[in-house]
Structure 1
Amino acid sequence: MKGLYCRAGVSDAEPKFVIQETSLPDVLGSHVVRVQVKACGLSPLDLKLIGDVGIQKDLIPVGREVAGIALQVGDKVSFFQPEDEVVGILPLDSPCSGLCDVIDIDEHYLVQKPEKLSSVCVAGALRDGLRAYTALHTYARMAAGHTLLVMDGASSFGLMCIQLACYHGVKVLTTSHSPQKHTFLEQLRPSVAKVIPVYKGSSDLLPVVLEETGGLGVDIIIDSGVRLQEEQEESEETKLLPHKHDIISVLGVGGHWVTSHKDLQLDPPDCRLLYLKSASVTFLNDEVWTASSSQQGRYLHILKDIVEKMSTGVLRPQPEEAVPLYEATVAMETVQRHQKTKAVVQL
């Protein structure tokens, strides 16, 4: 049996993705489910995070969002039976690559997959759903009547945030990063109250948001990265990101800013403005759910709710075209270079 693994580069060298032979233990663990994988989602590897949590491996398994069928269960497994359709995210320290035909995974990382939900769909959208749920429910304490600003709402993560917020009666504002994305987001109205283009050069983010909120600012901001300072030479992608001061300026009193920026630095004037607004900043790291078992039950509840909402059409992820297994290495290299946000492999 073969799986896809990452051989981390030395110093700044790019990581290499290689196919390696692997095998499963003969004896199944008491709480382990043996799963035949039908689809696997590929997301960028955060090698620095993996090193920070103390995982030292020459070969790091690739592909962690999996959907498949339970083949065999351990003698103490209580949630699943053979032939059950399951979906889950492999933990950071999993020895298995999700791109193997058959994998072993602890039952506490899996939930039942509804029949009407395709394996490709759920494997491609599960992580974005988890991130949106974590940002809005766990960190921002979203409630009906709140106002939300989602940066780059046409991204797969942004779209999940918009749909989840609209379901709970939240007023949604969002930004668009291209004319095509702007047209797409305009089609979501009236679910989206306002689409703010940021690709035209000067951003009208502050005046538009203040006009939409009566000068009060928004209750929640979900970003997809920020600019820490103005630089003369910036890439086109960086120019579309909001400046950290703009985000703090449009945040309302008691507001929550949930950021995906791993190296955010706030200057004393930024902290002073946050203090005056009694606002908070939270870092969005969805890996904490599988890195710590302290809230395992809550995590499983979130996964179950996400797949149920996908099944009923509350969450409608953008369809992701599945690639065959023999293209997995190239697909992962593309994702790791951030030329694509994710990919789905159908086994």
Structure 2
Amino acid sequence: MVPAGAQQIGRAVDLLRAGELIGMPTETVYGLAADALNVAAVNKIFAAKGRPADHPLIVHLPDAEHMSRWARAIPKEAIVLARAFWPGPLTLILKREDGVPDAVTGGQDTVGLRVPDHPVALALLLAFDSGIAAPSANRFGRISPTTAAHVADELGDRVALILDGGACEVGIESTILDLSRDAPVILRPGAISAEDIAHVIGREPQVRCIIDETSGDKEDKAESVDRPRVSGSLAAHYAPRTPLQLAPTAQLAEIAATLAGEGSRVAVLAHGCADPRDARLLWRAAPADPVGYAHELYANLRDLDASGADFIVVEALPERAEWQPIRDRLGRAAVGSGEADET
């Protein structure tokens, strides 16, 4: 890990041009970055993460002017949204240009594009002057990294350099909005809400594939139209190795105590329920507001995963719209938790 000054950014550019992988900070999570036009380098991302080859990557751009290098038939709504939210945590799914590698798109006719809102990422992208493919810098399906130390813990020497840009401000992945079909559809919720988007384009996008946080089932709220595969849409994702379950506020302390009574070590992530002062429980209080909760989410899950607990119990979140992206992440984390990494 190195502090992200001008000299280190220059070194990072050289490494990218040489086909190497680096760890890159963004405002959402840290990315595992490669030259998006270098197929061999992109393939290193899949190998380092253990990521399925048909799972598409998001291409990060220096600015909105680069969009036309990567996408064709760009709808007016994409331009308006880019002006409103870029740099920022919004990924647009658009029809790809012919020169975009299949390795980036998962063989689809679409590509995901965004401009990150982080000074180090923007400086790197401007110096590189091209697109950088950068999924989260962690083993596939595991908890996303929000500090440079998380990247080092996850990937170690699989990356040539990790630029340290501090803790990520947003803390969860970008909203993914599909504009490649007639109707706009959110394929992954994030900090940019459906209401935010509707305010800019004058119509509210549909929402697809929200995970129910108690059952792990997907609820498809979009029309039944074939949509592109996108990052973070699998039912099991963002998951700790420790089994994780979600519990309603009224039952949180009881469920945790019952598990502990069976001789298990239990870690609890709560945001509203008061600490029961049960010495058998490792109790972690998360921020009570959705912005603060999202900022701390992955760091909290990583800490509890590393605590030696046998189970993690997370207090269920409010049903209100502003909590939707975090409910999505926790629902997928619960589905994927407790599974061993493939080697």
TM-score normalised by structure 2 residue count: 0.24
More strand by proportion, 1 or 2? 1
